């Protein structure tokens, strides 16, 4: 079971997150535990202060080092040995590869910054700084929710159909293929005929074509890193000169 610890000054942020949907199910089935630790409980002074002014001047407050180090010592004293992340806007950009790496760990700690951030000395505890994108949040908690959600759904036996993971966007470096459900025709828009054909080989080809076409249109940056097979490359060549799937099939004598 993956153990996740979260250092925060707002543990209530995670109450709803832990009680609904896939995450709640994973907790109930013993696939993951998510323990929020209020660093305020580790502040020593009588007002339980977690923040202080910035040395050298400047706006705002910083999370003090002591409560975070004390909370960390407490975790260690319980025998925990977590891989430690801190949320930082300039950190390694969180993506599916990092989610996959983290889903293989046994214990993870996420330290959520607040205010202007944390005292730099806290970094002595940290294995990796993680960002969820180039924008500024008021705290690390929303970032932690995102990180934990995407890790938990990768854990074995969490999703009811784990094949979803293989067909999700980014799992093979491309965006996911388009999906349709009933009815076959809605407001004049029809489901592509090939998906109704029952021909699984053809459907597989069509979905690959759709993935490549969507990636070219919507996320061409992904193509540089994607692992492309020979048939992928042939499809891409056709897509780039606006050939249709049908024309591709005829050219490759696959129809
Ligand atoms: N003064 C900081 C911003 C602080 S925002 C700066 O100039 O960069 C407060 C906290 O929110 C940060 O310490 C961090 O923990 C979290 N945070 C803000 N934006 C984030 C992002 N894009 N990804 C991850 N965490 C973020």
- Pair (128, 232) in one structural domain: no
- Pair (143, 222) in one structural domain: no
- Pair (188, 72) in one structural domain: no
pLDDT at 74: 98
Q: Is the CB of residue 116 below 6 angstroms from any atom belonging to ligand 1?
A: yes
- Pair (120, 204) in one structural domain: no
Residue 55, domain CATH: 3.40.1280.10
To the query of whether residue 40 is one of the catalytic residues in this protein, the response is no
Contact 5, 80 (CB under 8 A): yes
In a domain, 159, yes or no: no
As a whole number, the mean pLDDT across the chain is: 97
- Pair (15, 119) in one structural domain: yes
Parent domain of 184: 176-252
In a domain, 209, yes or no: yes
Q: Is the CB of residue 61 below 6 angstroms from any atom belonging to ligand 1?
A: no
DSSP symbol at 134: S
pLDDT band at 123 (very low <50, low <70, confident <90, very high): very high
Q: Which two tokens stand for residue 242?
A: 């606006």
- Pair (108, 188) in one structural domain: no
pLDDT at 126: 98
Q: Is the CB of residue 96 below 6 angstroms from any atom belonging to ligand 1?
A: no
- Pair (60, 126) in one structural domain: yes
pLDDT band at 78 (very low <50, low <70, confident <90, very high): very high
CA 103 – ligand 1 centroid, Å:
23
Residue 231, domain CATH: 1.10.1270.20
- Pair (70, 188) in one structural domain: no
CA 131 – ligand 1 centroid, Å:
8
Domain count, the chain: 2
CA 246 – ligand 1 centroid, Å:
49
pLDDT at 148: 98
Name the closest-CA residue to atom 21, ligand 1.
Answer: 89
- Pair (142, 198) in one structural domain: no
- Pair (129, 198) in one structural domain: no
Residue 255 has pLDDT above 80, yes or no: no
Burial of 149: CB neighbours in 10 Å, binned 0-12, 13-18, 19+: middle
H or E segment to which residue 110 belongs? strand 107-111
Q: How large is the average pLDDT for residues 122-131?
A: 98
- Pair (96, 180) in one structural domain: no
Q: How large is the average pLDDT for residues 123-133?
A: 98
pLDDT at 166: 87
- Pair (23, 63) in one structural domain: yes
Q: How large is the average pLDDT for residues 130-144?
A: 98
pLDDT at 172: 87
pLDDT in tens, 2-23: 999 999 999 999 999 999 999 9
pLDDT in tens, 29-76: 999 999 999 999 999 999 999 999 999 999 999 999 999 999 999 999
In a domain, 77, yes or no: yes
Q: Is the CB of residue 135 below 6 angstroms from any atom belonging to ligand 1?
A: yes
Listed range (53-57, 133-137, 149-153, 223-227) with the worst mean pLDDT: 223-227
């Amino acid at each position: 079971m993956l153990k996740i610890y979260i250092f925060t000054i707002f543990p209530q942020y995670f109450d709803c997150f832990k009680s609904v949907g896939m995450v709640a199910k994973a907790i109930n089935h013993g696939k993951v535990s998510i323990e929020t630790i209020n660093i305020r409980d580790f502040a020593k002074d009588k007002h339980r202060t977690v923040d202080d002014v910035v040395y050298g001047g400047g706006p705002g407050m910083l999370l003090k080092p002591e409560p975070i180090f004390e909370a960390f010592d407490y975790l260690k004293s319980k025998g925990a040995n977590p891989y430690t992340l801190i949320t930082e806007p300039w950190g390694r950009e969180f993506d599916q590869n990092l989610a996959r790496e983290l889903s293989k760990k046994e214990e993870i700690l996420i330290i959520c910054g607040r205010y202007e951030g944390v005292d730099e000395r806290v970094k002595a505890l940290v294995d990796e700084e993680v960002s969820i994108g180039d924008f500024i949040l008021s705290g690390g908690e929303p970032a932690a929710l995102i990180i934990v959600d995407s890790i938990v759904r990768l854990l074995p036996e969490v999703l009811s159909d784990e094949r979803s993971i293989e067909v999700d966007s980014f799992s093979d470096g491309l965006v996911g293929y388009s999906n349709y459900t009933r009815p076959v025709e809605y407001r004049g828009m029809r489901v592509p005929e090939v998906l109704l054909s029952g021909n699984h080989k053809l459907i597989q080809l069509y979905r690959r074509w759709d993935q490549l076409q969507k990636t070219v249109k919507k996320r061409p940056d992904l193509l540089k890193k994607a692992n492309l097979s020979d048939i992928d490359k042939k499809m891409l060549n056709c897509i780039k000169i606006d050939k249709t799937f049908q024309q591709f099939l005829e050219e490759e004598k696959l129809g």
